[in-house]
Amino acid sequence: MAQKIIVTGGAGYIGTHTTVELQKAGFDVVVFDNFINSDPSSLDGVQRITGTKPELERVDCADDVAIADAFAKHSDAVGVIHFAALKAVGESVEKPLMYYQNNIRGLMNVLDNMNKHGIANIVFSSSATVYGVPDVLPVTEETPLKPATSPYGQTKVMGENIISDAVRANPNMRATLLRYFNPVGAHPSAEIGELPLGTPNNLLPYLTQTAAGIREVLSVFGDDYDTPDGFCVRDYIDINDLASAHVAALKHMLGGANGVNIFNLGTGRGVSVMELIKTFQDATGVKLNYKIAARRPGDVPAIWADATLANKVLGWRANVPLADTLRNAWKWQVKVCEKNN
Ligand code: NAD
Ligand code: UDP
């Protein structure tokens, strides 16, 4: 019998791609999602890729009663991948309590129910945001964490600490904390991808929407940073590579790895905003309307990952070339536009 994995937030951007990889690896996936930032139709996209629609529980992880019922139904699961969270940094500053309620209470409920049913393994979506503005680049898992600069970032730091304490108190439990750098792209089939609601905050969806004519112009935030070309530098990781790391992390725990393991998930390469724009134009042949604008307050000038630990321990590495990732993102954007017309 296939091993069952609960994927909270499984209808979202990273959740759908990870569900595909889990199903391909032979796991039985049940998605827990309340669709606060996604649509149930994303799971149809998963089915068109793998031939299998994941089982779905429409449930809010922060609803104590509903989540307990969902876990009781799936107490035979061997692990949980916990994606469910709100993720807009600016919104979290305006509505901090909503973020703590959703992200922290949701996580606590998940951990409580895992303990109750003896589900031992959790993978948690953390973020490079926990490193703040790092003193040394690239950042390893040993790089000191900086105080969070937003309630969203705080929920990631707190989430890591809560899970670590829970594992310390229960030797049967194991956790993997995955610190994502900048996830971008879509499945090569263009059946699933990123679907931001409203105006995107992140670079790539803003860029592809501008290329598609939905937005007039992409503002490049700052050209006077102390970086090789003056533009901000990030580590853009292909969403399919990121998804496969979750399967590797899960197998590592199911294979007996104990305690709390922490991994950076990035390519190990820093790319500037202008480099990304140029690569997009070259890869797709589409000309992008962009302008240089003021720095965005709070932006980290440069950050990229040292991802050698994930390679050494999980046997995972990012493989997809950036040009392919950007072509996939564009293919997805074109398909979304066709659907909406
Ligand atoms: P997303 O918004 O596309 O997916 C999150 C999913 O969780 C959505 O389907 C949403 O409906 C669901 N959800 C939210 N709160 C819920 C709740 N209380 N109960 C049930 N379902 C709930 O976001 P994503 O980009 O796929 O991010 C997944 C995780 O990765 C999040 O924890 C996010 O903070 C983290 N992360 C994302 C990025 C990124 O750039 N995308 C970077 C670092 C970390
Ligand atoms: N960025 C930009 N214009 C935009 C959105 C983002 O120039 O419309 C830049 C931003 O300054 C940062 C990079 O793109 O250097 C990635 O930003 P994003 O919000 O996608 O991710 P972050 O790393 O800030 O979480």
pLDDT-derived band at 233, boundaries 50, 70, 90 = very high
For a pocket test of ligand 1, which of 18, 29, 36, 240 has the largest count of ligand atoms closer than 8 A to its C-beta? Answer: 36
Q: Is 152 a catalytic residue?
A: yes
Phi, then psi, of 3 in degrees rounded to 5: -80, 140
Phi, then psi, of 281 in degrees rounded to 5: -65, -45
Tell me how far apart the alpha carbons of residues 180 and 297 are, in angstroms, rounded to a whole number: 21
Residues of the chain above pLDDT 90, percent: 97
Distance 108 CA to ligand 1 centre (A): 16
> Residue of the nearest CA to atom 1 in ligand 2?
203
User: pLDDT value at position 188?
Assistant: 98
Q: For residue range 149-184, what is the model confidence (pLDDT) as tens digits?
A: 899 999 999 999 999 999 999 999 999 999 999 999
- The mean predicted confidence, pLDDT, of the chain is 97
Contact yes or no for 26/97 (Cβ under 8 A): no
User: pLDDT value at position 274?
Assistant: 98
- Of 48, 51, 52, nearest in space to 29 by CA: 52
User: pLDDT value at position 177?
Assistant: 98
Identify residue 244 by its one-letter amino acid code. S
User: pLDDT value at position 250?
Assistant: 98
User: pLDDT value at position 203?
Assistant: 97
Question: Where do the H-state alpha helices sit in 51-150?
Answer: 64-73, 89-94, 96-99, 106-117
Q: Is the pLDDT of residue 197 over 90?
A: no
Phi, then psi, of 56 in degrees rounded to 5: -130, 135
Compute the average pLDDT of residues 78-89.
Answer: 97
Any ligand 2 atom below 6 A from CB of 219: yes
Q: For residue range 120-154, what is the model confidence (pLDDT) as tens digits?
A: 999 999 999 999 999 999 999 999 999 998 999 99
Tell me how far apart the alpha carbons of residues 21 and 32 are, in angstroms, rounded to a whole number: 17
- Of 282, 123, 127, 296, nearest in space to 206 by CA: 296
Compute the average pLDDT of residues 60-82.
Answer: 98
Token look-up 């609803």 returns: 63
Q: Residue 78 burial (CB < 10 Å; 0-12/13-18/19+)?
A: middle
Q: For residue range 245-266, what is the model confidence (pLDDT) as tens digits?
A: 999 999 999 999 999 999 999 9
Q: Residue 137 burial (CB < 10 Å; 0-12/13-18/19+)?
A: middle
User: pLDDT value at position 341?
Assistant: 80
User: pLDDT value at position 211?
Assistant: 97
| Nearest bound ligand to the CA of residue 100 | 1
> Residue of the nearest CA to atom 19 in ligand 2?
202
pLDDT-derived band at 340, boundaries 50, 70, 90 = confident
Any ligand 2 atom below 6 A from CB of 227: no
Ligand 1 shell residues, CB under 6 Å:
8-9, 11-15, 32-38, 60-62, 83-87, 102, 106, 125, 127, 180, 183
DSSP for 296-334 reads PTT--SB--B--HHHHHHH-----S-HHHHHHHHHHHHH
Nearest atom of ligand 2 to the alpha carbon of 129: 25
CB atoms within 10 A of CB 338: 8
User: pLDDT value at position 1?
Assistant: 84
Token look-up 């107490």 returns: 75
**Helix, strand, coil proportions of the chain in percent (round to 5)?**
45, 20, 40
3-state secondary structure of 122: strand
First and final C-alpha spacing in the chain? 43
Task: Tell me which of 13, 99, 131, 152 is the catalytic residue.
Answer: 152
Compute the average pLDDT of residues 62-89.
Answer: 98
Q: Is the pLDDT of residue 113 over 90?
A: yes
Token look-up 């969806």 returns: 205
| Nearest bound ligand to the CA of residue 196 | 1
